[in-house]
């Protein structure tokens, strides 16, 4: 059974439009509370964290009201990265964690995503049960069966110490000048402290949230300011996170950008050299073909999951492996955390660089990325461009031109009304032209 509200990363949309309204979110909290209460054996507790969007206050109050009406005790953590909510849910032995965030999207979007008691995203069957409960009338518990609310005052400090604990105690970051870009998001009061307390000289940017500037010109999806600051201050490295702190890109001393595939490669190669790889690696349909070929050269098993960190996680758990990720910057190190974490991923890269006494350029030198072009085409929801004969013909033409030295991938976004057109191969000009040709066909169909 398909889900009506839950996408690949929770419930997400434009604030003020269904489903991101206070009325719906309160009902969502109530429905989730009733489902979670049936899972927990004793009184159920749920942690709520949020990013820095101005709408987070409104949605937090609505979610809190719905959960309490269902008899759930609520623990409020305030602005906190998504992976911090996953960690604290486990640490506090709660039944679930909830994050109010739209990740890398603009400030006028928002969303709700849930974590289980073990710090993993809720399985599909639980999300379906919540959707089923949404179809039932909301009936507030009697006064003696209402939940209570409590604020967690030390959430930030706990998470900072947890992040630091994933970096070897015998190593430090002294002598490194690092620029940290928090995207005016949920890591604004956390990220710089983690790297500074490990010894680095930290220059912080994108750490002045005003409720409306999250991801606006800063962070993992807009690295130009990071590149400029690294060069201006002659820093050794730059680290950019996204609005909710689970995505990472890095920049070297020359301002070159390293995406999730390249960063995962640095981590994987180091783990293999240390005899600590423990199995293979999971990428996605978007993972660069060069990464797959590199894994083959290293003799490391590699598998592709559907796009979305939850699918990477599912495949890792099925295989019993530890490392996986997306080229967008979601990197999962299951021996360190139960979910993708931008700060912890950056620490794993820095661990490899420190032990091997390498720069980022040296560590990633052997990975020769194929040119990859991604074009997002706006389409109306429910429009099936993928199945149209003209689109199929355009894809077939591109694949013939690539002649087995590249690939074409079309996929609908799981969070936005977009069709993503991706083409990669050895020839940059051919890749760009092929992507533009397919995108133009889709645009014409979408405009009808």
Catalytic (active-site) positions? 103
Neighbours of 150 (CB within 10 A): 10
Q: What are phi and psi of 344, to 5 degrees?
A: -65, -35
Q: Parallel, antiparallel, or unpaired for β 248-252 and 257-258?
A: antiparallel
Pairing of strands 73-79, 45-50: parallel
Cis peptide bond N-terminal to 325, omega within 30: no
Contact 256, 286 (CB under 8 A): no
Helix 124-134 to helix 22-39 angle, to the nearest 10 degrees?
120
Please name the helix (run of DSSP H) or strand (run of DSSP E) that holds residue 323, with its range, or none: strand 323-325
Task: Answer whether the bond into residue 359 is a cis peptide, omega within 30°.
Answer: no
Residue 313: its H or E element: helix 309-319
The encoded tokens of residue 348 equal: 């794993």
* CA distance to 52, 116, 177, per residue, from 96 (Å): 21, 5, 38
How many residues are recorded in the chain? Answer: 448
- How many CB atoms sit inside 10 A of residue 197's CB? 15
Is residue 191 within 8 Å of 226, Cβ to Cβ? no
Contact 392, 445 (CB under 8 A): no
């Amino acid at each position: 059974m398909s889900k009506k509200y839950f996408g690949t990363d929770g419930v997400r949309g434009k604030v003020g439009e269904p489903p991101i309204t206070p009325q719906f979110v309160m009902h969502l909290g109530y429905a989730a509370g009733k489902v979670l209460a049936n899972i927990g054996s004793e009184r159920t507790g749920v942690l709520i964290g949020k990013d820095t969007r101005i709408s987070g206050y409104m949605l937090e109050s609505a979610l809190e009201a719905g959960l309490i009406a269902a008899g759930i005790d609520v623990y409020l953590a305030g602005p906190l990265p998504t992976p911090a909510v996953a960690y604290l849910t486990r640490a506090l032995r709660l039944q679930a964690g909830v994050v109010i965030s739209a990740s890398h999207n603009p400030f006028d979007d928002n969303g709700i995503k849930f974590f289980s008691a073990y710090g993993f995203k809720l399985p599909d069957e639980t999300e379906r049960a919540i959707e089923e409960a949404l179809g039932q009338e909301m009936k507030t518990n009697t006064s003696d069966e209402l939940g209570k609310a409590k604020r967690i005052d030390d959430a930030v400090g706990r998470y900072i110490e947890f992040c630091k604990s994933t970096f070897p105690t015998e190593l430090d970051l002294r002598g490194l000048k690092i620029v940290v870009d928090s995207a005016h998001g949920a890591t604004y009061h956390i990220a710089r402290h983690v790297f500074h307390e490990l010894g680095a000289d930290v220059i912080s940017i994108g750490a002045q949230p005003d409720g409306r500037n999250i991801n606006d010109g800063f962070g993992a999806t807009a690295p130009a300011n990071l590149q400029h600051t690294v060069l201006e201050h002659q820093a050794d490295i730059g680290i950019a996170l996204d609005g909710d702190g689970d995505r990472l890109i890095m920049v070297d001393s020359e301002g070159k950008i390293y995406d999730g595939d390249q960063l995962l490669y640095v981590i994987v190669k180091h783990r293999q050299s240390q005899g600590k790889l423990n199995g293979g690696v999971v990428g996605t349909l978007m993972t660069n073909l060069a990464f797959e070929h590199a894994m083959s050269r290293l003799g490391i098993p590699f598998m592709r999951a559907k796009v979305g960190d939850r699918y990477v996680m599912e495949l890792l758990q099925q295989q019993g492996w530890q490392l996986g990720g997306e080229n967008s910057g979601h990197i999962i190190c299951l021996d360190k955390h139960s979910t993708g974490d931008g700060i912890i991923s950056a620490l794993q890269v820095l661990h490899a660089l420190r032990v091997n006494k390498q720069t980022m350029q040296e560590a990633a030198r052997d990975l020769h990325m194929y040119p990859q072009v991604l074009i997002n085409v706006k389409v109306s929801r429910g429009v099936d461009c993928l199945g149209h004969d003209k689109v199929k013909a355009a894809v077939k033409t591109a694949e013939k031109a690539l002649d087995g030295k590249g690939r074409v991938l079309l996929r609908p976004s799981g969070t936005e009304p977009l069709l993503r057109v991706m083409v990669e191969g050895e020839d940059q000009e051919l890749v760009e032209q092929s992507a533009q040709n397919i995108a133009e066909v889709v645009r014409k169909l979408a405009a009808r």
